[in-house]
Each structure stands twice: as C-alpha cells, then as structure tokens.
Amino acid sequence: MTDAVNILATSSSPRHAAESRFRLYGVIAIIISLGFLFVMVGSIAIRGTGAFQQSFVNIAVPLPAEKIDPKGTADPQVIRKSRFGGILKSALREMFPEAKSRKDKRQLYKLVSATAEYSLRDHVVANPDLVGTTASVWVRASSDIDMYLKGNIDGTLDESQRRVSDLQLAWAAELQSKGRIEKRFNTQFFTGGDSREPEQAGILGAVTGSALSLLVCFLLSFPIGVLAAVYLEEFASKGRINRLIEVNINNLAAVPSIVFGLLGLAIFLNVFGLPRSTPLVGGMVLALMTLPTIIIASRASLRAVPPSIREAAFGLGASKVQATFHHVVPLAMPGMLTGSIIGMAQALGETAPLLMIGMVAFIVDIPGGITEAATALPVQIFLWADSPERGFLEKTSAAIMVLLGFLILMNLIAIILRRRLEIRW
C-alpha cells in the first residue's frame, strides 16, 4: 500500500515538471510572436502617422487683374490660362526681398511645393472675386521643408549633409514665427492620385485600382469557384478523376503567385490582347490565384452540411438540383463566403502577379473603370518604397497602414459573417 503511494509520488513529479515546462514554452512563444507583431505595427505606425499631416505655408499673393483677367470677364477659362507660376514666384520674392541671386531665388521657390501654382490657380478659379486684390493663400510646403518641420531632417547637421539649406531654414523659422506655417490634416493623401511630389501624392488612385481589381476578381472567382465546388462535391462521381482534380486544386493553391502573373501576361495580354495595366486583367489574374482557395473552402463547407439534410430533401421527392440549391448550398453559403473573403484578402495583398501585367506603372489619374490604367495598393507601396525622396518614406508606411486596415476589415467581415449566418445543428 505505502509502496504504491510512494511510486505515484515519485513518478508524478517529472510529469508535472514536463507539463509546466511545456506551458512555459507556449507562453514564451506567444510573447515572442506578440513582441514581433508589436514591433512591426509600432514601427509602421511611428513612421507613417506623419503622412496624415501636411505643412502649409501662408503666402500673400498679389493678383493683379491685368495679368490674370484684363477684360474683367471672370471667365474661368481665361483665369485658368494665366501664368500662376510667375505670380506665385513674384509673391515669394516680395515676401523675402533679400533673395537676390539666382541660386537664392531658386531656393526660395523650393519652400513651397512645385504643385503650389496649381492649387493657387484652382483657388482663384473657384473665387474669381480675388482677382485684383492681394489674397492670403495657404499652399503646400515642399516635401523637404515639410520633412524638416516634422523633425525628420536634422537642422544641426552641416549644410552639405542635408537637403535643406541654411537660408531655407532661416526663412522657415521666420515664416513660423509669423504664424505663416501650419500643419493640417492631409486630405490630399486620401483623395489624390500618385504624384512625383511626395507632398502631393495620394492613395485614392491605388485604393480605387485595388477595389476595381477585387471586384473583377470576386465576380469571376466566386461564381466559378462555388459552381466548381458544388459540381465536384454534389454531382460528380467520386472516382479517381475527382480525386486527381482535388489534388491538383490543392497544388494550385500552393503555386507562387508570380507564376499566375506570368500566365496572365502570356495569355490575357499577349494572346487575347487585353489592355495592359488595367484592373480588368489584374482582377482576372487575381481570380486565377483565388479560385483554388475558394474551391477548397467551398468544398469543405459543403462537406460539413450533414447528409441527413440531403436525405430529407430526397425523401420528399426533391431532385438532385433542388436538394442541392434549395438546401445544401444555402446552408454552406456562410462558409463559402467566409472562404471567399479570406481569398480576397489574400488577393488584396498580392503584388507579384500585378507587376507582371504592368500594374506597376506610375499613374496619376484615379481610374474610372476596369479598362483604365491603374495601380493597386501593394504595388503603390512597392513604388513608394522604391522612391529616393525622404517624403515617400512616411507615405509608404501610411499606405501600409491603409492596406493593413483594409485587410483587418475584410477579416472582421468574414468573422462576423461566420458568427451571424452559421447554423448549428
């Protein structure tokens, strides 16, 4: 009796130790992965939040009527044709008369964005009353000044080591002391297309391109994938061919995405001659990539519908098609949708296949349809990450934040759909 108790006591202590050791390993693994996640998201957030703000410079711009609208017509066409670049430059020279040499003047003009003359033009076109007066106009600071004002350029470095000259620093300080510099929420980032100038670059073009591509991708891959899954699972005989197809679909899901991009380049662009760099072709390539995921998820959710439901329908005299589409498919639909959304989220983050079909182009306009040249969010991130300008660094991180936001949103929708629609039996 006592022996048995002793044996239990001695043999259980190593087992307890093994158990608590294993728990410890698990906790450590989770802490490490959470730590990595925290570092990644944190560094992106720290770098990217700056992009949501933009420095604006207030300039007193004299708008002489004889230069803009000599006949006083207030016709937008006439105003639009005026040379606002020159007007803006002379306004800057008036504010800082100490800039005399060509070199100094050039530095002076670089205080504001190269696109500032266009915003000035649009402002005057919208308010023709301003012609003939001296208007106080807020224009974007140039990216370098913006970076300096956000603390991304160190003013204590030697002048040759930084992109902002001592003269520009002095002017910026003067403007700041006069309250002529302001940081505002950067709406341009969310409403504009790409630009060569970081201060002008926006993400809407890429978001629209991604949305259009995903729309094409969904419209193609969801019906095809679901119908393929329904046929393979409910109608096709479960023979060797069905198994072979299943194995191949599983293999396709593991094919590197760039291969699908090459396929799209060879077939959709070169054979069918579809327009290059468009969401149409992008969506088709992404659909090729997403199809296996959707078919696998749909087959799994069809398999999860209990056979008793099929029997009940057959027993009432429903035909195979009726049993399938009245009962089995509606019951499997939440699972199919969830699988599709997860496939879509994967497609949203996909870059490589889009590079192959030319969606890597520099496109300023926001695409208005699926046959217009466009780029996509991950490709935009790739393009900006590739740019040498300091200003694009924070745009890159901000674009990553937007992309991650969309991914989290899609996964959330998938989880909510599954919770809401899933039927337990």
Partner 1 sequence: MNIQTNIEGGVAVNQSVESAPIVKVRNAQVFYGDKQAIIDVDVDIRENEVTAFIGPSGCGKSTLLRCLNRMNDVIPICRVEGSIKLAGQEIYAPEVDVVALRQKVGMVFQKPNPFPKSIFDNIVYGPKIHGLVKTKSDMEEVVETSLKRAGLWEEVKDRLDQPGTGLSGGQQQRLCIARAIAVQPKVILMDEPCSALDPIATATVETLIDELREKYTIVIVTHSMQQAARVSQKTAFFHLGELVEFDTTEQIFAAPKEERTQNYITGRIG
Cβ 347 vs Cβ 217: under 8 Å: yes
Shortest separation between residue 17's beta carbon and partner 1, angstroms:
47
Under the criterion CB under 8 A, does residue 23 sit at the interface with partner 1? no
Burial (Cβ within 10 Å: 0-12, 13-18, ≥19) of residue 24: exposed
Strand order of the β-sheet with 181-185 is: 134-140, 53-62, 181-185
Q: By rule CB under 8 A, what count of residues binds partner 1?
A: 21
Q: Is 112 helix (H, G, I), strand (E, B) or coil?
A: strand
Question: Is the Cβ of residue 136 or residue 322 nearer to partner 1 in the bound state?
Answer: 322
Shortest separation between residue 331's beta carbon and partner 1, angstroms:
7
Under the criterion CB under 8 A, does residue 314 sit at the interface with partner 1? yes
Under the criterion CB under 8 A, does residue 312 sit at the interface with partner 1? yes
Instruction: Kindly state the DSSP code that residue 361 receives in the 8-state scheme.
Output: S
Stretch that binds partner 1, among 93-101, 167-175, 309-317, 361-369 (CB under 8 A): 309-317
Q: How far is CA 321 from the centre of its chain?
A: 41
Cβ 301 vs Cβ 336: under 8 Å: yes
Q: For the chain, percent helix, then strand, then coil, each to nearest 5?
A: 70, 5, 25
Structure tokens at 383: 């393009």
Shortest separation between residue 417's beta carbon and partner 1, angstroms:
17
Shortest separation between residue 310's beta carbon and partner 1, angstroms:
8
Residues in 155-194 that interact with partner 1 by CB under 8 A: none
Place of tokens 């959709």: 268
Under the criterion CB under 8 A, does residue 315 sit at the interface with partner 1? yes
Query: Site mask, partner 1, residues 267-306, x = CB under 8 A?
Result: ---------------------------------------x
Question: Is the Cβ of residue 6 or residue 319 nearer to partner 1 in the bound state?
Answer: 319
Under the criterion CB under 8 A, does residue 150 sit at the interface with partner 1? no
Q: Please, what is the angle between helix 2-48 and helix 391-421, to 10°?
A: 130
Under the criterion CB under 8 A, does residue 237 sit at the interface with partner 1? yes
Q: What is the largest CA-CA distance in the chain?
A: 116
Under the criterion CB under 8 A, does residue 417 sit at the interface with partner 1? no
Nearest of 138, 142, 80, 74 to residue 113 by alpha carbon = 142
Q: Is 142 helix (H, G, I), strand (E, B) or coil?
A: coil
Question: Is the Cβ of residue 72 or residue 306 nearer to partner 1 in the bound state?
Answer: 306
Residues in 320-339 that interact with partner 1 by CB under 8 A: 322, 326-327, 331
Under the criterion CB under 8 A, does residue 9 sit at the interface with partner 1? no
Give me the residues that bind partner 1 (CB under 8 A), please: 237-238, 306, 308-319, 322, 326-327, 331, 423, 425
